[in-house]
Amino acid sequence: MSSTKIWTHKGTFLLAAVGSAVGLGNLWRFPYLAGENGGGAFILIYAVTIMMVGIPILIAETLLGRAGRRSPIMGMKYLTESHGTSKGWRAIGWMGAAAAFIILSFYSVIAGWAIHYTGLLFSGSLDGASADAIGDSFGDLLASPGLLLTYHTLFIAASGLIVGLGIHKGIESGLRWMMPALFLILLIVLGYGVMVGDAGAALSFLFTFNFDDLSLEGWLQAMGQSFFTLSLGMGAIMAYGAYMSSETSLTKTAISIAVVDTLIALMAGVAIFALVFGSGMEAAQGPGLMFVTLPIAFAELPGGSILGGVFFVLVIGAAITSSISLIEPVAAFIVERFGLSRPVAVGLMVSACWLLGLATVFSFNIWAEGTISHQLFGRSPFDVLEFITNVLMPLGGLLIALFAGWALSREEVVKEMSTHAGWFEVWQFLVRFIAPTAVAFVFLRTMPQVEGYVAPAIGAVIIIGAFTAGRTFMVRR
Ligand code: PHE
């Protein structure tokens, strides 16, 4: 049962993939990771990883989606059958769906914080508040299961509504007005940051390459971030790729996605650090950068409550265009596999995700550190969920690279990659050797027992093993 649904416009895949890529990862995670890891050097590693690993895997994942023309789970089933490869590769679809499901459950809770701050800033309740008071108000938000739950519900329901309306009426038409609007808001916020903040300090922080600031940990974080920000390894891109027109160039599209995603992260970084430095604060504030440091800056600066509110609208919008791409792979699978209608499938997926989201909600209050449940398990449920996705994401990326690089038939790949021969070879080399090696490093760093340089060493062994196995067992003769 193949779905022959295709996006109405040739450019929609690009729009949808950028919508998926640009999200909390760009606006919240990228700036604070850059801040914690010394700015420029982190960004350089990040950019190199995007080029050498991110883009090749992005091409591979889109290719698998388009070649399968089904939801990731059913598409991988089809591809393994039509290529006579091991059934084991179907794990790509299942792991992706599982990761998408788990990520959405906490992504929605965090995006909900932005709803809270939109209200706080627009209503002027932060005007003239002291830094301590603003820090405390974030603490109060986290301490309130009721508030977190309300925002989580609102956010996930809004996302579900869009996907429930279908890929044309919901996703496609939603993105057609949301994406330009979000870009416009980003320009306004950037303009404001440059005018009232210290853009010079922001630029020199982001573009001075001081390698002494960069630890191995920072290096690996930059690689992990390049995965998260491009939405790789979670079936999101594969699900959207299933609706991509056969005429659109994979290479050009993937490069455009990566370039736009990186530019937006940098623009957000300049805006945020200009405001933070302009108010005399430090870069290395960690995850609280957006929800504590930035509101403090907005509370001090002229016009800050309005512009701050506008900024958080941007955060909510960017998060919605990402979360719909997390719903799509699972919902499309439920429709295909069980023949349910789309609204019912989305309803099921979103309700189950909402329920799992409670674990994240309670992680900040009734199950937080110091409570009995935390002592029982040693970490909060949120930490556990995040850890699982940090494993599934690179593992999915690794398998996607290996499957597209080694197991797919040459005809299939050549058919999909109708770009000129030189680039094809480059892509194949990156996806066969460089990407898997790099991803294995990232993956192994998430294993708590593997420390320091042991991870790269084990990674190399795994990769050599995988290549040997790939040559022997995976390639179809
Ligand atoms: N790329 C999104 C972001 O930067 C997060 C995401 C990951 C979305 C995976 C979909 C799939 O926020």
Amino acid at 218: G
Q: Which residues contact 68 (CB under 8 A, 6 or more apart)?
A: 74, 75, 76, 78, 79, 238, 242
Pocket-testing residue among 18, 228, 230, 328, ligand 1, by greatest number of atoms within 8 A of Cβ = 228
For 301-331, letters b (16+ CB in 10 Å) and e give: beebbebbbbbbbbbbbbbbbbbbbbbbbbb
- Helix crossing, 91-122 with 131-143: angle to 10°? 130
Residue nearest to atom 4 of ligand 1 (CA): 25
DSSP string, 301-363: STTHHHHHHHHHHHHHHHHHHHHHHHHHHHHHHHHHHH---HHHHHHHHHHHHHHHHHHHHHH
Specify the residue with its C-alpha closest to ligand 1, atom 10. Answer: 231
Ligand 1: which atom is nearest the Cα of residue 21? 1
Per-residue model confidence (pLDDT) at position 128: 86
Residues with CB under 6 A from ligand 1: 20-21, 23-26, 103, 228-229, 231, 234, 236, 322, 325-326
Structure tokens at 139: 């603490």
Q: What is the pLDDT along the chain (477 residues), one digit of tens a residue?
A: 444 689 999 899 999 999 999 999 999 999 999 988 888 999 999 999 999 999 999 999 999 999 999 999 999 999 999 998 888 899 999 999 999 999 999 999 999 999 999 999 999 999 989 999 999 999 999 999 999 999 999 999 999 999 999 999 999 999 999 999 999 999 999 999 999 999 999 999 999 887 787 777 787 788 788 889 999 999 999 999 999 999 899 999 999 999 999 999 999 999 999 999 999 998 877 888 999 999 999 999 999 999 999 999 999 999 999 999 999 999 999 999 999 999 999 999 999 999 999 999 999 998 888 777 677 667 889 988 988 888 888 889 989 999 999 999 888 888 888 766 678 889 999 999 999 888 877 767 666 555 555 666 666 666 666 665 655 555 544
Tell me how far apart the alpha carbons of residues 352 and 350 are, in angstroms, rounded to a whole number: 5
Enclosing H/E stretch for 386: helix 381-402
How far is 79 from 91, CA to CA, in rounded Å?
A: 12
pLDDT score at 222: 85
Residue among 231, 314, 353, 392 whose CB has most ligand 1 atoms within 8 A, to mutate: 231
Q: Which residues contact 88 (CB under 8 A, 6 or more apart)?
A: none
Q: How far, CA to CA in Å, does 463 sit from each of 46, 89, 424, 472?
A: 22, 16, 22, 14
Q: Which atom of ligand 1 is nearest to the CA of 236?
A: 11
pLDDT of res. 477: 41
pLDDT at 105: 97
Query: Which mutation among 95, 320, 325, 388 tests ligand 1's pocket best, with the greatest number of atoms within 8 A of CB?
Result: 325
> If you measure from the C-alpha of residue 322 to the centroid of ligand 1, how many angstroms do you get, rounded to a whole number?
6
Q: State the Cα–Cα distance between residues 147 and 208, nearest whole angstrom.
A: 41
Q: Which pLDDT does position 456 carry in this prediction?
A: 60
Q: Which atom of ligand 1 is nearest to the CA of 30?
A: 4
Q: What is the residue whose two structure tokens read 């990771």? A: 33
Q: Which residues contact 410 (CB under 8 A, 6 or more apart)?
A: none
Pick the closest to residue 347 from 195, 161, 206 (CA basis): 161
Residue whose token pair is 């760009």: 26
Specify the residue with its C-alpha closest to ligand 1, atom 7.
231
pLDDT attached to residue 378: 72
* CA 430–ligand 1 middle distance (angstroms): 23
Between vectors from CA 229 to CA 244 and to CA 442, what angle results, nearest 5°? 115
Per-residue pLDDT at 473: 52
pLDDT of residue 2: 45
Sign of CA dihedral 56, 62, 68, 71: positive
Q: What is the token pair recorded at 315? A: 């955060």
> Helix 131-143 and helix 145-164: axis angle, to 10°?
70
Span from the CA of 328 to the centroid of ligand 1 (angstroms): 13
Residue nearest to atom 9 of ligand 1 (CA): 231
If one counts every other C-beta atom within 10 angstroms of the C-beta of residue 282, the result is 10
- The C-alpha atoms of residue 355 and residue 347 are separated, in whole angstroms, by 12
Rounded to two decimals, the pTM is: 0.92
Which pLDDT does position 411 carry in this prediction?
85
Task: Determine the pLDDT at residue 46.
Answer: 93
